[in-house]
């Protein structure tokens, strides 16, 4: 039965973790062809056999909702209803999946070969699979994976096939459809293609929403989409989008379904396939267009070692339980179900709150590898560290992270020095080890003379690649780090003063990190509890006092947020000193990047975070939020 855990009290340190199974272990011992051709008997929703693709299309086009919108568009545009209906049919043809088991079997065979070469292990929590097997029989299921790599949706379908679960239909961007052969293969494996932006296209939105809701109402297959909307190039969670979440919840709001189960899935990589590509995109290098030729050129990644991968299927979250006391479903009875209705303000707030909490669950279930700790320390020590010091501090940081509730995959019965050596070897492209000294380094740079700007770019690629791993553990330290910076900024030990600073920082970073709306007091209390339990603070009735042994921990936590604070300060300087009032958004990003580069070359800035594309827009958004709050 779907869980209500989304709104339950959270004690991250006490959270029980499921056991994992390496699904590649069996694959390495048996035939991939025999496995791909095995008998596939998925568990079905209420025992219903899914309808054929042609029947699904017919149901969507004949639905009362779509017919109503066709008449509205016809009336507004002056085109005949037949003409608008034909356009709707073409939109659906362009969008819809055409799943075929034979194509799925081909992908299973191919991916088995690829995964065994790419990864040492792919670990899945067995209890999560069992919960999902139960959930798909009771209510329609929506899968909500985190999104850090193109590998995510391939692995999801592969695992569901492996465990005899219904194959999902996956919301994919139009970019993939332009890939010759591959785009059509993805469509026949369950992908349905949607535009990145609908604008004001009422007909497109109606076809899309009715298509998704029909599959949900009929229990056709699990729906899969990414709450973050796109891959996170920084490897920290992005602010969730609520459009598709509203669509999958609406059948429950309107009483068409008794319940819907939302299943957050956390996918963690020891080494991300696109690490250097992401860094270059953040520095302004255009994203390569998805193409079949590009995919073939990328096959060299098969010779690389990407370590282990973990997939954690979270507890199913019941939309019925989630909405209890928060959504008045009676408002949906005032009009016939098929008439389009805009979500009310209360519904918008509910969707936003639910989306943030679901992404927070994804974060909490992310399995973290030792390298994220090492990367955090190396970024705080740009001149490098002695291997002995790095080993000692990584061990200290490991215990701090575990005390704060981190889901850390640290090898049992292995010396800390051995664990660190293995991590350094896996990520050797990002660092150099010489005479017992470890330092981030441009190891692959060509041995030719470069300009200062090129040298900065090459250094920034390494730093941002490393930062993408540091970012994976930010959610563990975020709330205590906000408290540490607040204590430093408040210049007072009064609890009220510290809370006001904490709340200011929290509002400023509300688009940078996953901070659930309305949880400021809860986050403050959680930070106080974690630091007090660690012996860093004493929390009295009206005061918060640092303990004698707490200085090093608070200094580390302040350093965690320092790159982000520096980035915001640089944008402030740019806006005050050099901005042009008529600057457009497209002009603003390169201008801030050039300004930051000038500061770096002058030796006035060592932080590369602001050299990215997204950071400057996050700052502008933060200013708007703070202006609204004040």
DSSP 257-321: SS--EEEEEEEEESS-TTHHHHHHHHTTPPPPPP-HHHHHHGGGGGGS---EEEEEE---EEHHH
Instruction: Report strand pairing: 537-539 vs 308-313.
Output: unpaired
Strands (DSSP E) contained in 45-162 are: 121-125, 141-145
- Stretch 540-556: mean pLDDT, rounded? 93
Whether the predicted pLDDT of 10 surpasses 50: no
Structure tokens, 242:
């609520």
- Stretch 21-37: mean pLDDT, rounded? 94
- pLDDT band at 15, cuts 50/70/90? low
- Stretch 385-389: mean pLDDT, rounded? 96
Whether the predicted pLDDT of 609 surpasses 70: no
- Stretch 416-436: mean pLDDT, rounded? 94
The Cβ of residue 31 has, within 10 Å, a number of other Cβ atoms equal to: 12
In the prediction, which pLDDT does 455 show? Answer: 82
Give the span between the Cα atoms of 530 and 465, in whole angstroms: 29
In the prediction, which pLDDT does 226 show? Answer: 95
In the prediction, which pLDDT does 296 show? Answer: 56
Give the span between the Cα atoms of 172 and 226, in whole angstroms: 9
In the prediction, which pLDDT does 39 show? Answer: 94
- Stretch 462-474: mean pLDDT, rounded? 93
Whether the predicted pLDDT of 17 surpasses 80: no
- What is the residue whose two structure tokens read 């947020």? 561
Whether the predicted pLDDT of 240 surpasses 90: yes
In the prediction, which pLDDT does 443 show? Answer: 53
In the prediction, which pLDDT does 580 show? Answer: 66
Burial 68-81 (b: 16+ CB within 10 A, else e): ebbebbbeeeeeee
Whether the predicted pLDDT of 122 surpasses 60: yes
Of 54-58, 190-194, 203-207, 600-604, which gets the smallest average pLDDT? 600-604
- pLDDT band at 617, cuts 50/70/90? low
Q: Which of 86 and 607 is assigned the larger pLDDT?
A: 86
- Stretch 241-247: mean pLDDT, rounded? 94
Coarse DSSP helix, strand, coil percentages of the chain, rounded to the nearest 5 percent: 55, 10, 35
Whether the predicted pLDDT of 48 surpasses 80: no
- pLDDT band at 613, cuts 50/70/90? very low
- Stretch 25-49: mean pLDDT, rounded? 89
Of 1-10, 12-21, 420-429, which gets the smallest average pLDDT? 1-10
The residue among 68, 71, 252, 239 whose CA lies nearest residue 147 is: 239
Give Rg (Cα) of the chain: 25
Q: pTM of this prediction?
A: 0.92
Give the span between the Cα atoms of 312 and 364, in whole angstroms: 10
Predicted confidence (pLDDT) per residue in 471-484, tens digit: 999 999 999 999 99
Of 121-125, 332-336, 500-504, which gets the smallest average pLDDT? 332-336
Predicted confidence (pLDDT) per residue in 551-574, tens digit: 999 999 999 999 888 888 888 888
- pLDDT band at 14, cuts 50/70/90? very low
- pLDDT band at 625, cuts 50/70/90? very low
Write the DSSP string, 412-434. TT--HHHHHHHHHHHTGGGEEEE
Whether the predicted pLDDT of 420 surpasses 90: yes
CA dist 545 → 489, 522, 541, 550, 608 (Å): 14, 19, 11, 10, 33
In the prediction, which pLDDT does 43 show? Answer: 83
Instruction: Report strand pairing: 261-269 vs 141-145.
Output: parallel
Predicted confidence (pLDDT) per residue in 433-444, tens digit: 999 999 998 655
- Stretch 284-301: mean pLDDT, rounded? 67
Task: Name the helix (H) or strand (E) containing 522.
Answer: helix 520-533
Whether the predicted pLDDT of 417 surpasses 90: yes
Of 183-192, 258-267, 270-279, 608-617, which gets the smallest average pLDDT? 608-617
In the prediction, which pLDDT does 173 show? Answer: 86
In the prediction, which pLDDT does 70 show? Answer: 95
- Stretch 28-35: mean pLDDT, rounded? 94
In the prediction, which pLDDT does 44 show? Answer: 82
Whether the predicted pLDDT of 261 surpasses 50: yes
Of 155-164, 204-213, 229-238, which gets the smallest average pLDDT? 229-238
Predicted confidence (pLDDT) per residue in 309-356, tens digit: 999 999 999 999 999 989 888 888 778 888 888 888 899 999 999 999
Mean residue pLDDT across the chain: 88
Q: Which of 335 and 518 is assigned the larger pLDDT?
A: 518
């Amino acid at each position: 039965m779907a869980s209500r855990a989304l709104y339950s009290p959270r004690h991250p340190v006490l959270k029980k973790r499921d056991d994992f199974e390496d699904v590649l272990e069996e694959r390495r011992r048996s035939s991939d062809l025999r496995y791909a051709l095995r008998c596939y008997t998925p568990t079905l929703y209420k025992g219903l056999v899914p309808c054929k693709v042609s029947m699904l299309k017919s149901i969507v086009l004949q639905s009362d909702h779509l017919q109503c919108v066709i008449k509205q568009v016809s009336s507004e545009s002056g085109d005949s209803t037949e003409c608008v209906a034909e356009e709707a049919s073409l939109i659906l043809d362009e969008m819809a999946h055409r799943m075929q088991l034979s194509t799925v079997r081909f992908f299973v065979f191919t991916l088995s070969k690829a995964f065994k070469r790419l990864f040492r292990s792919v670990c899945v929590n067995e209890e999560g699979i069992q919960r999902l097997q139960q959930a798909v029989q009771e209510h329609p299921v929506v899968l909500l994976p985190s999104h850090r790599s193109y590998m995510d949706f391939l692995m999801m379908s592969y695992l569901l096939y492996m465990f005899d679960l219904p194959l999902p239909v996956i919301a994919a961007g139009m970019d993939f459809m332009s890939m010759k052969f591959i785009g059509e293969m993805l469509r026949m494996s369950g992908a349905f293609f949607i535009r990145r932006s609908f604008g004001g296209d009422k007909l497109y939105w109606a076809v899309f929403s009715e298509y998704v809701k029909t599959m949900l109402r009929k229990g056709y297959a699990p729906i899969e989409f990414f709450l973050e909307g796109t891959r996170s190039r920084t490897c920290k969670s992005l602010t969730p989008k609520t459009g598709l979440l509203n669509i999958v919840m609406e059948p429950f709001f309107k009483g068409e379904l008794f319940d819907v189960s939302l299943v957050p899935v956390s996918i963690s990589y020891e080494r991300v396939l696109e690490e250097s590509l992401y860094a270059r995109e953040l520095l302004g290098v255009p994203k390569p267009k998805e193409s079949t030729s590009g995919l073939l050129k990328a096959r060299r990644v098969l010779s690389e070692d990407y370590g282990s991968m973990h997939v954690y299927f979270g507890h199913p979250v019941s939309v019925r339980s989630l909405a209890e006391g928060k959504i008045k479903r009676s408002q949906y009875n005032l009009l016939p179900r098929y008439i389009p209705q805009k979500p009310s303000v209360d519904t918008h707030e509910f969707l936003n709150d639910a989306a943030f909490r679901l992404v927070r669950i994804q974060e909490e279930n992310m399995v973290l590898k030792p390298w994220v700790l090492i990367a955090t320390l190396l970024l705080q020590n740009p001149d490098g560290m002695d291997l002995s010091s790095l080993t000692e501090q990584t061990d200290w940081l490991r215990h701090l992270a575990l005390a704060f509730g981190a889901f850390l995959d640290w090898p049992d019965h292995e010396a800390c020095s051995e664990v660190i050596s293995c991590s350094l070897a896996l990520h050797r492209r990002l660092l150099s080890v010489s005479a017992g000294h470890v330092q981030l380094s441009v190891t692959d740079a060509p041995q030719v003379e470069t300009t200062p700007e090129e040298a900065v770019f090459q250094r920034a690629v390494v730093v941002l690649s490393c930062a993408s791993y540091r970012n994976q553990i930010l959610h563990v330290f975020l709330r205590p780090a906000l408290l540490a910076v607040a204590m430093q900024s408040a210049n007072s030990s009064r609890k009220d003063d510290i809370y006001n600073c904490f709340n200011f920082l929290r509002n400023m970073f509300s688009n940078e990190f996953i901070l659930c709306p309305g949880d400021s007091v809860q986050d403050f209390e959680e930070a106080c509890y974690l630091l007090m339990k660690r012996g860093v603070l004493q929390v009295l009735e009206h005061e918060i006092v640092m303990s004698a042994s707490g200085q090093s921990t608070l200094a580390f936590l302040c350093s965690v947020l320092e790159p982000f604070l520096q980035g915001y300060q640089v944008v402030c300087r740019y806006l005050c000193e050099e901005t042009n009032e008529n600057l457009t958004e497209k002009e603003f990003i390169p201008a801030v990047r050039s300004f930051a580069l000038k500061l770096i070359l002058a030796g006035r800035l060592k932080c590369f975070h602001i050299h990215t594309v997204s950071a400057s827009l996050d700052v502008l958004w933060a200013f708007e939020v703070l202006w609204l709050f004040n």
